[in-house]
Amino acid sequence: MTKFYTTTAIDYVNGAPHIGHAYEKILTDVIYRHFTQRCENTYFLTGTDEHGIKIQKTAAEKGISPKEFCDMNAQKFKDAWKALDIDYSQFIRTTDEQHTKIVQKIFKKLVDKGDIYKHSYTGLYCSGCEAFLSEKDLTEDGLCPNHMKKPEVIEEENYFFKLTKYKDAIIKHIKTNPDFIVPAFRANEVINQLENIEDISVSRVKSNVNWGIPVLDDAEQVIYVWIDALSNYITAIGYDPDGSSEKFEKLWPADVQVIGKDILKFHSIYWIAILMALDLPLPKHILAHGWITIDQTKMSKSLGNVISPTSVLEAFNLDIPDPLRYYMASAAPCGKDGNYSDEDFKEKVNAHLANSMGNLLNRTLSMLVKYFDGDIRSEFLNKNELEKQALETVKEVKHHFDYFEVQEAAQKIIELVDVTNKYVTDNAPWTLAKEEKMDKCGEVLTNVLQVMTVISSLIYPYCPNIASRMAEQLGYDLNTKLDDITCNALKSGHLIDKENIKPVFLRMDSELADKKK
């Protein structure tokens, strides 16, 4: 691969980040970090969506300007992603000056092309969705299915985008590219939605919504969410209708755009039509992930079960976010819903990260120090019975990531950890030492440590801090590309002293895990 460009949905700043937001960012970050291990030119875009009536109203209630409100809440998202070690390349805000200018140009280009036209309209508007809904979108009681509120009837003269013009082309693209929408079973949902698609409003009257990007040549209208928010994926990397940057030419099209299943329609229909209208290549994949429930219940402010991701780190006294990253990234099969519970979180990360993986490294290094003063001897090398399994796991992990199967890849990594643990149990190096079969004992320990270098590379996207701790104790270069991984990274010589052996992750119910003790 020569490049990899990935994006997340940009989060609406009307509230603080919760664990659902965190799931998407962690998932994308894991995918991004994996592909940095496979190619040189990688880019990860995230950000915030900051225009619209909800921002305008909430800011007014707080007695501050919309921009002040956006500044305050955008920082909350940045702080949360920093706490979770989200390694994004760029954080775009739709209030950024450059984005604003290019969105105006995009809008004008589509007007000039005839793909945007002005039209009087009466429609059902859901302020929660920031969208006009049709009767068939509503529940039997006439409510928005996402927010369970009755939409208001709005009559305006707005600009409309000719979505219907691109209907057949979108259907053809989805059908001829079965891996375009991930998971594939969601493609039929999109095709069904396309059957009755209508042109969409892409502006609002300024007298009703004044917090938005003004339409050039029409002071009475502001650009509505679809042209504004969706365009961030190209404005951020230098798209310009008058001549795009070298950066844009190198990165676009996106390799995968990660979004929630609830906004798949907007990304697989609206966004694709806009790109077609701009004569731009389409993203290679759109990954629609599922939702995260809390104790098997959908998150809701009224139920009081909305969880902040940083509150989880604080509640468990975690000095690194790796346990939460690992748990969330492996919470659900590709595209399916997942669940968070405190008990399951603790049990899973203790079992996988502390007991299986961390303890495997710790006890193997301890035996190397005990029996061989921390040295790897030349006679222990080139006899690796686990090599085939380890290198096969690298292939399997890469295959799963090619299809963005992040949970499935994690399962393969833990399977390799389990196989290696079984190898230690079956060969019992402590018994070999007792029987003075030192060459065989040293060979077993070295085989395990060689595999641990592979495991550190594979687990890195999920647990960058734990992987770094593992690599440091192994004297292993974590920058090794996946295609260059071998099972003989460790050479003969002194590896580690007793005082440098430290647990890479402590059980969350261990006394040592509580920083106050």
The 10s digit of each residue's pLDDT in 416-436 is 999 999 999 999 999 999 999
CB 501 within 8 A of CB 369: yes
- Give the pLDDT score at 141: 84
Give the number of C-alpha atoms closer than 13 A to the C-alpha of residue 123, restricted to the C-beta side.
22
Tell me the CATH class for 343-513: mainly alpha
pTM above 0.85, yes or no: yes
311 in helix, strand or coil? helix
Q: How much of the chain, in percent, has pLDDT values that exceed 70?
A: 98
- Give the pLDDT score at 517: 37
Please list the active-site residues. 18, 21, 126, 129, 144, 147, 298, 301
The pair of three-digit structure tokens given for residue 509, joined into one six-digit string: 């119910």
Bridge partner list, 5: 43
Q: Rounded to whole angstroms, how far apart are CA atoms 73 and 79? A: 10
Measured from the Cβ of residue 449, the count of other Cβ atoms closer than 10 Å reads 25
In sequence order, the 6+-apart residues with CB closer than 8 A to the CB of 410 are 326, 329, 330, 462
Q: Rounded to whole angstroms, how far apart are CA atoms 108 and 114? A: 10
CB 132 within 8 A of CB 208: no
Three-state SS across 50-85? CCCHHHHHHHHHHCCCHHHHHHHHHHHHHHHHHHCC
> Nearest-CA neighbor of 39 among 434, 420, 398?
398
> Nearest-CA neighbor of 287 among 39, 8, 86?
8
Positions of the chain with pLDDT lower than 50, given as ranges: 515-517
- Give the pLDDT score at 510: 61
With b meaning 16 or more CB within 10 Å and e meaning fewer, what string describes 303-318? eebebbbbebbeebeb
- State the DSSP string of 118-144: EEEEEEEEETTTTEEE-GGGS-TTS--
